Structure 1
């Protein structure tokens, strides 16, 4: 996601052709599979005779990026849990409208959502400086997202082919429009559209009993806890790490080797930060990797370590990009009980040869989610982020934010997410109307409605 245009320092103000055709070709391939009632191809010589048992629970919260990534895998029905219904399990399109009869036994499914919300800000109206994101307009209602997904998750007990088409439109698509995308650059900051995912995938029963999953195309990142799309994040607003220290989505390939039921290892190559079948820059061939490890079979504690490096792998503030980014992320998810989940995540990064030398940034946050009852969650986030030399936000200072929120989900179709948030900075960093920032602190209150179908 592109950062802001103006740059400030601690000392005060000083301040498509082939790509689209390739992406369109993939979409035609996918939709052709839908209309032809794609049938599963299972070469008998590589079917595993003793498939690993499927878990009864993923141990992940559905309103998270790890929960979104888990949708790529076809799993047995899970034990019902507290919290909102995963958007892929609402099944209004599949069951109520009867699309499951169209798809038959192919394994294809479809679902979607709509999110809109309002944010009030002490900094004034209009485009807000630095944060919050993506609800970035003060005192204004936004149609944030209209999303539609057609996907075929991968079976894990045999060779299998899948795909994922995840399309969305709205104000968030404008801020997340990829390089080379279908509306690049967006002409309207309040509305655009984008394929967040457009890839083919395969499960290969090789190397280990769990096999390997492979994805090729445009896909969501594996870095970060908070997802960009509305059903995959706990709050209406997002954290600093999400917007200034992570890669969003990219074009490239990923492999996920399932070492065993507790250990997964990701490796892949990307064309740089947020691209649609093109490179971010001439040299932006980047490496991305991640290790996920559950300490026990009960899936109480999950450790995650990630690295992403290469030219233009992470967005810089305008005019502040260097020639090589390195980002390291460490995360622990602790399921203290069926009711309480805590996440602690740290990002640190470096960008060499920027106009101000080597830029660096460091972030740390904790998120707590407490399921008060089957229809109501209480949520908390506290964060610190330091943009040394201002190469990420455009302002050379450190930030802190505290957010308190609720998630009321009276049924499987609806989530209402109110929140109150305080942001603080070492230098003037906050303001409204797109004007230069004049405030060192900012209070925002937001509420969104997420309808899933």
Structure 2
């Protein structure tokens, strides 16, 4: 897909939504669709000066929500593979306001996310790698055009079975990071298209209210369970992603069961076809996951451990085995912090350095898109990096570890927040990023909202590779710089 396909995708989506809205809203609203949509945005942007009484708070079961959203991505600490059991659907959407005043549980919504960056790297098309998602230096990009169809199960009540679903699609530059093998993956792995389409989530939720304090069973393709960050733009504190997030598991196809045992404990377990591999492909691996979260201080503190990918971890398409620990702490109404660490590895990874002394670096990570079509050895899988091992070995164990910390401050009552992010990653064999080196990254960012529908997130980011250059690689060449400075940001328009 190219620029013309992008325009066609957006036009078809908007006119389909207009037709749906006109059909479903005709019986209750006399104004035209576009008039109702315009009024929905105006009401959202001028809500602070409105004389209308505030809307009643949705009912909630359990500890209070620790955060305000906006300006933060969610009112609850992140947990993957499930809705937050006991939490209501807090969200309303401008499109659904124009359709039926947000009166139904079936929702259609999405956003357009445009990003920009000015970088000290400039030698290649994807010279900002291994930074993400602003991988194209000194440019403006359509990062995501997202469209969701969704029904959330009601997990506040404990009287009856309920169900939900989500089908979410994105088009844009960011498909390069979400692509799973066997799901339109030829766009990346064969053609290495700059823009592409990915149906990033398609799943069913089954809510069982009498099992523990509530149990959700999720079946389909879902975002991998751990992480402070997520693929979809509004689910993050910042525009760019940490290195820690960029190089772990993104999505899985499988079944995940989440049970809330008490106000303190939530446990999860499931099986999948592995990271970024569809069950119908040759790279599918039977993979387990087991996670547990403990919450205390009336929801202000949360500790989340997750063994996300339990199998042999033998080299395959992103067949990484990974163990995570994440801690969230709310200091007061204005300040909170989030810290995450992981250790992950693959076994029997082909050695890019076999017979070479010294080893020649392979450059930024093929598996995240920068060099996705390149293959350097018959034993390498397209889109899955080799490792930089002892030159005498044909294969080796390739571990890496990372830790990231977020410090968050909110002011201006739901409209503005500040992010300070610091992280360290040691890609010991270069199997994740393409360069065997240690990294640090430091970021200062801001998040400003107009109502609940327009988000602007500028940031300044400095990163460094310690053992060898890892940045500013010419197309098809080796990295040339050890330090990279970027000024970047994005604009998200929600509908």
- Sort the TM-score into its range (normalised by shorter chain): 0.7 to 0.9
Look at both structures and tell me which one has the larger radius of gyration over its CA atoms: 2
1:75-154 → structure 2 map (5 Å cutoff): 89-98=91-100, 100=102, 103=104, 107-124=105-122, 126-128=125-127, 130-154=129-153
- Structure 1 residues 258 and 279: CA distance shift in structure 2, 3 A: farther
| Residue equivalent to 1:429 | 470
DSSP-derived class of the 1:63 partner: coil
DSSP-derived class of the 1:241 partner: helix
What runs of 5+ residues in structure 1 fail to find an aligned partner? 1-30, 36-51, 79-87, 315-319
| Residue equivalent to 1:373 | 412
Deviations 1:212-253 (A, max 9, x none): 110111111112110110010111100111111x21011001
Which of the numbers 230, 251, 256 marks the counterpart of 1:227? 230
- Structure 1 residues 67 and 306: CA distance shift in structure 2, 3 A: closer
Deviations 1:243-300 (A, max 9, x none): 11x2101100100011012321111111111234534615x1111121111123x211
- Structure 1 residues 129 and 412: CA distance shift in structure 2, 3 A: closer
**Which range is displaced more, 388-397 or 174-183?**
174-183
DSSP-derived class of the 1:444 partner: strand
1:233-248 → structure 2 map (5 Å cutoff): 233-244=236-247, 246-248=248-250
| Residue equivalent to 1:198 | 202
Superposed displacement of residue 351, structure 1: 1.8
Distance (Å, rounded) in 1 between the aligned partners of 2:308 and 2:252: 12
DSSP-derived class of the 1:424 partner: strand
Distance (Å, rounded) in 1 between the aligned partners of 2:240 and 2:265: 31
Q: CA contact under 8 A between 1:183 and 1:193: conserved in structure 2? A: no
| Residue equivalent to 1:364 | 403
Size of the aligned set, in residue pairs, is 383
DSSP-derived class of the 2:186 partner: coil
**Which range is displaced more, 123-132 or 220-229?**
123-132
More strand by share: 1
DSSP-derived class of the 1:261 partner: coil
Superposed displacement of residue 176, structure 1: 2.0
RMSD: 2.8
Q: Does 2:61 correspond to 1:59?
A: no
Deviations 1:148-183 (A, max 9, x none): 112111122221121111111111013322111135
Say which structure, 1 or 2, has more relative contact order (CA 8 Å, 6+ apart).
1
DSSP-derived class of the 1:236 partner: coil
TM-score (norm 1): 0.78
